Amino acid sequence: MTRPVFESGLPLAPMAFHIATVEEADLPELAMLSQMVWNHQPSTLLNHMFPADKHAEMYDYRLAWLRIAFKEDFVLHFKMVDLSSNTIVSYASWDVPRPAVPDGDASDDESAKRPPKAMYPEGCNLAMIEEFYRERDRIADSHVNKTQDYVLRVLFTHPGYQSRGLASMMLRRMLERIDAERRRCYLEATPAGYPLYLKFGWKVVDEVRTDLAKYGAKDAPVELTPCMMRDASSLLPK
Ligand SMILES: CC(C)(COP(=O)(O)OP(=O)(O)OC[C@H]1O[C@@H](n2cnc3c(N)ncnc32)[C@H](O)[C@@H]1OP(=O)(O)O)[C@@H](O)C(=O)NCCC(=O)NCCS
């Protein structure tokens, strides 16, 4: 890893990072980190979905989301900890292949994995959120075999720690397991994640089209979210 430097040009001491499984007590810190990540890197989609000024409500909403995901079976949550400050600086969650569930089984209902509507901050665009997730789930269902494939759900790195290879380390750790099992891995990419995923062997297989004009946007009427699959034969970058 390239050693980061102070503005003075003096090298920082090499940092030690550690990847570990997330514990329930980590969830508030992760919700705060997620808030920081998205405030630092605004997303066109999120800007149209959620109000910009409801920070406390957005924190509660993110925490509710994390708590639901944490209780789910067949989801792995990993954190990267900066050992010098004992703070979480990167997070990834993955769906792992699960046993087949009979048709109509509630455990297969994607909408149950999101916070109830009452948890959504006032001022958010519920119609847009519901339409986006309906379309996203429809496309994912058409590509993902839940009994066979992995899905990268979430990946983010603290803004002050980005471009140092931390997300790459998180990806590499899990992809070694996925490759050893010769499994595929699916994800939906943000603009920030897209180049990284290409480098690690994911390819675009579909896209979620969100017609923002329907929700009042004039300058960028259609937002495309790439849906990507990494085949079992993909190679990790050197
Ligand atoms: C996308 C995201 C997770 C990447 O995290 P990261 O920790 O900065 O990722 P990495 O450092 O591993 O890689 C990012 C870039 O840094 C470069 N990099 C990797 N190792 C490096 C190192 N040792 N030193 C400097 N740069 C390095 C990578 O080449 C990559 O550059 P590239 O995009 O031009 O190829 C981060 O930008 C983020 O959290 N964004 C907001 C949330 C988001 O969009 N998440 C993706 C959801 S799909």
**Interval between CA 112 and ligand 1 midpoint (Å):** 31
Residues, the chain, total?
Answer: 238
Ligand 1 centroid from CA 40, angstroms: 14
Cα separation, 57 vs 54, in Å, equals 5
SS3 135: helix
Q: Indicate which residue's Cα is closest to atom 48 of ligand 1.
A: 189
pLDDT score recorded for residue 110: 72
The whole-model pTM stands at: 0.90
At residue 69, what is the residue type? A
Low-confidence ranges of the chain (pLDDT < 70): 1-14, 104-108, 220
Ligand 1 in reach of 168 Cβ (< 6 A)? yes
Please give the number of the atom of ligand 1 that sits closest to the Cα of 195. 33
Q: What is the pLDDT of residue 13?
A: 53
Domains of the chain in start order, with CATH, are 17-230 (3.40.630.30)
What pLDDT score does 104 carry? 67
**Distance from the alpha carbon of residue 37 to the mean position of ligand 1, in angstroms:** 12
Q: Do 74 and 98 contact (CB within 8 A), yes or no?
A: yes
CB 183 near ligand 1, within 6 Å:
no
User: Which residue's CA is the nearest one to ligand 1's atom 37?
Assistant: 192
Q: Is residue 12 within 6 Å of ligand 1 at its C-beta?
A: no
Burial 125-160 (b: 16+ CB within 10 A, else e): beebbeebbeebeebbeeebebeebbbbbbbbbbee
pLDDT for 218 equals: 72
